[in-house]
Chain A
Amino acid sequence: MSDAENKDNIEAKEETEANSKVYEFGYLLVPTIAQDDAPINYGNLKELVSSFGGEVISDEMPKMINLAYSISKVTSNVRSKFTTAYFGWIKFTMSPAKVLELKKSLDLDPKIIRFLLLKTVKENTIAAKRFARGETYKRPIMKKSAENETAVPINKEEIDKEIDALVAV
């Protein structure tokens, strides 16, 4: 009996691993949190993700940003407007069924103003400033001239012969 159960468990585990997809959770935390307490909330969110069986791939600490427009949120019948917030994100793998549960629990979090749950890819998606304009292809001018010099060794006899042939005509 226990063997069969174990087998089932293992199979179930393999299934979840095979079915797990890469997700990204971007969130805005309320700015009323003190600067020192932001890492605590960040740790709590990471724990929440892993409690639902998520494996964290990469993440970024919540950073204070100025919002592009003011966002209002109603919490316990009080509407509050925000123009700044802590923005952070976590990338993780999780099975699709668990993500729905995670979303439900995130919906109830009073410290989150807004959040995004997106499907994404495992690779780092932020294109850093490695695409500078200066890296464009430049013609190797110096090399070419050097090649030309070596490619034409002067043979006096041959030149003399050619000149003779020209003069004869």
Chain B
Amino acid sequence: MKQDYFSANNIKFIDYKDIEILKKFLNPNGKIMSHKRTGVTAKNQRALANAIKHARFIGLLPFVVK
């Protein structure tokens, strides 16, 4: 993913409920992929990390995949 996924798809607000999108940015262990790998802009990467953390808290995404 070289281009910013969110600006390419015209997503202005990254929602914690949208787990199908958030899952794309997790590695097989359930960790958040690095900025380098995602190619997302710095601003969106911060928002993405927050959204993933909210989704984890409410039980939609795992903290770790064993």
Contact = CB atoms under 8 A, between A and B. Distances in A.
Contacts of B62: 68-69
A33 interface: no
A100 interface: no
Interface in B1-44: 9, 11-18, 21
A87 B61 CA distance: 13
Contacts of B13: 120-121, 123, 125
Interface of A: 26, 28, 65, 67-69, 71, 85, 87, 89, 114-116, 118, 120-121, 123, 125-127, 131
B16 A28 contact: no
Contacts of A71: 59
Chain A interface, >50% SS class: strand
Contacts of A114: 57-59
A67 B59 contact: yes
**Candidate in B15, B16, B58 with the most chain A CB atoms within 10 angstroms:** B58
A85 B11 contact: no
Interface residues of B, number: 19
Contact of B15 (A28, A67, A125): A125
26 contacts: A26-B16, A26-B17, A26-B58, A28-B58, A65-B59, A65-B60, A67-B59, A68-B56, A68-B59, A68-B60, A69-B59, A71-B59, A87-B58, A87-B60, A89-B17, A114-B57, A114-B58, A115-B58, A116-B16, A118-B16, A118-B54, A125-B14, A125-B15, A125-B18, A127-B11, A131-B9
Contacts of B61: 68
* 7 tightest A-B CB contacts, nearest first: A67-B59, A68-B62, A125-B15, A125-B13, A131-B9, A127-B11, A121-B13
B16 A69 contact: no
B18 A126 contact: yes
Contact of A85 (B14, B57, B59): B59
